[in-house]
Homo-oligomer: A and B are copies of this chain.
Amino acid sequence: MSGVLVVGSIGYDTIETAAGRRDDVLGGSAVYFALAARLFSEVAIVGVVGEDFRNGDVELLRNAGVDTTCLTTVPGGKTFRWHGRYHDDMNDRDTVQVDLNVLGCFDPELPESHRDFPYVFLANGSTAMQLKVLEQVRPASPKVYFDTMNLWIETEREGVMKLVRHTDGVVLNDSEARMLTGIPNTVAAGRYLVEQGAGDVVVKKGEHGCIALWGDRISVIPAYPLAEVVDPTGAGDSFAGALMAVLASGGELHEALMAGTIAASFTCESFGPEKLVDLTIGDIRTRLNELAAMMSE
């Protein structure tokens, strides 16, 4: 096996932003992750959907080159649904409704064939589930990273800190880093996580880019400046997907962070994963060069 395995949500989103509204758009952390990752390495998705999951969406993932062998359909089940409404500045959003449906009992049992990916990403999900997957992949997967969210930090803080200690990296946003550590300064919060054994700490700052901390070092990357954000849903997951896939293909962390920020910028330019689906490595390279110029000229 080569490439990266992602375990996360797959669902249908209803999204309202200043640019409009879309209903039942293909979404979920694993989907955004995989659609960005496939540009840089092989990627396999582990997730669960209901019987209402559209065949066309499985096709879409397969045609994009995503390994969907571990996509499970629960008989009689309904796919995870999320409905969110963004504020005008696109930085905050309210969850209008969330129906876990089949995701509520998501308890992935990886087949032997998928336990030895060199890179594994535990996308945002219940901490107990993430820890269970970690046990399954650990013997053969040297690099496991994870993401989390405010809900798990509030309800399963001990479990989240166990993931910090037992994985090789964490990708989380700045408010989550502050919440998890109780430290209001983002850099200090990141350093604390490194000291707790987190390995690589990647802090996403949305429109402000990202900071990565590892050992006693720091990388800082601004976001690609966008004059119009249509829908930021999935930007963080596609950031993580490109990041992990570049690492999985042998790239350096700086290169991985740059690729992540560029993938996220494309995600923001359309509703759902629309733009991500059509994206080519050439599009990524063009924008990577633009961003590098903006950072040095």
A254, B297: Cβ atoms closer than 8 Å: yes
Q: Taking the complex as formed, is A219 at the interface, i.e. its CB lies under 8 A from any CB of chain B?
A: yes
Partner of A208, one of B88, B208, B218, B295: B208
Q: A186 to B222: give the CA distance in the assembly, Å.
A: 14
Quick one: which of A116-168 are within 8 Å of B by CB? none
Q: Residue on B with the closest CB to A229?
A: B185
B209, A208: Cβ atoms closer than 8 Å: yes
Which residues from B are CB-within-8-Å of A217? 297
Indicate with 1 or 0, residue by residue over A187-229, a CB within 8 angstroms of chain B CB atoms.
1100100000000000001011101000001111111011111
Given A221-B222, A222-B209, A222-B220, residue A188 in contact with residue B295 (CB < 8 A): no
Q: A211 to B126: give the CA distance in the assembly, Å.
A: 38
Q: Taking the complex as formed, is A278 at the interface, i.e. its CB lies under 8 A from any CB of chain B?
A: no
Q: A226 to B178: give the CA distance in the assembly, Å.
A: 15
Quick one: which of A84-133 are within 8 Å of B by CB? 88-90
Which residues from B are CB-within-8-Å of A18? 184
Q: Taking the complex as formed, is A294 at the interface, i.e. its CB lies under 8 A from any CB of chain B?
A: yes
Q: Taking the complex as formed, is A63 at the interface, i.e. its CB lies under 8 A from any CB of chain B?
A: no
Q: Residue on B with the closest CB to A18?
A: B184
Given A208-B205, A296-B254, residue A187 in contact with residue B220 (CB < 8 A): no
Chain A interface, number of residues (Cβ within 8 angstroms): 35
Which residues from B are CB-within-8-Å of A89? 178, 184-185
Quick one: which of A22-69 are within 8 Å of B by CB? none
B294, A227: Cβ atoms closer than 8 Å: no
**A28 → B minimal CB distance (Å):** 26
**A96 → B minimal CB distance (Å):** 20
Partner of A187, one of B185, B226, B291: B226
Given A209-B222, A225-B211, residue A184 in contact with residue B88 (CB < 8 A): yes
Indicate with 1 or 0, residue by residue over A284-297, a CB within 8 angstroms of chain B CB atoms.
00000001001111
Given A219-B294, A227-B191, A254-B297, residue A186 in contact with residue B207 (CB < 8 A): yes
Which 10 A/B pairs are nearest by Cβ-Cβ distance? Answer: A208-B208, A220-B222, A188-B227, A187-B227, A187-B225, A89-B184, A222-B222, A220-B294, A88-B184, A218-B294
Binding site for B on A (CB under 8 A): 18, 88-90, 178, 184-188, 191, 205, 207-209, 211, 217-223, 225-229, 252, 254, 291, 294-297
9 examples of A-B residue contacts, CB within 8 angstroms: A186-B225, A188-B228, A208-B208, A211-B222, A217-B297, A218-B294, A220-B225, A221-B222, A222-B222
